[in-house]
């Protein structure tokens, strides 16, 4: 069994059997399906950037992915702390619409 760095960041990940690992979704890196996935050919920083353009690009790459739904389900089960997974943006384990810009929020909605 290989352990991913993201798995090490989540306390109790290895003990819990209800989490879906990346290997369960894409298989191993030697697998031809894994090598054809858009995220495996892109720069990883694109999926974890704070820039709106990078987030849009990452979501666009996920748009045509054959394992998008499984990737999203896995990220939800692992409560990914950040990044774009399955075409959705995560922060603190939940899906958010957009990153909040630095500074004080407006008083009026």
Nearest-CA neighbor of 57 among 39, 73, 69?
39
Domain residue ranges in the chain:
11-96
DSSP 55: H
CA 98, CA 41: separation in Å to the nearest integer? 24
Dihedral sign for Cα atoms in the order 11, 13, 18, 20: positive
- Say whether pTM exceeds 0.85: no
Using one digit for the tens of pLDDT, what is the confidence trace for 51-85?
Answer: 999 999 999 999 988 889 999 998 898 889 999 99
- CA–CA separation, 71 and 2 (whole Å): 18
Residue 103: band (very low, low, confident or very high) from pLDDT cuts 50, 70, 90: confident
- What SS3 class is residue 43? coil
Strands 94-96, 88-91: parallel, antiparallel or unpaired by DSSP?
antiparallel
- As a whole number of angstroms, the distance between CA 71 and CA 86 comes to 5
């Amino acid at each position: 069994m290989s352990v991913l760095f993201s798995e090490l960041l989540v306390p109790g990940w290895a003990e819990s059997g209800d989490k879906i690992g990346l290997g369960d979704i894409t298989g191993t890196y030697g697998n031809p399906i894994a090598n054809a996935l858009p995220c495996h050919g892109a720069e990883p920083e694109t999926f974890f950037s704070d820039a709106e353009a990078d987030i849009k690009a990452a979501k666009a790459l996920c748009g045509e992915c054959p394992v998008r739904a499984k990737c999203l389900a896995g990220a939800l089960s692992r409560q990914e702390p950040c990044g774009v997974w399955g075409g959705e943006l995560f922060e603190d384990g939940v899906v958010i619409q957009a990153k909040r810009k630095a500074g004080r929020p407006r008083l009026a909605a």
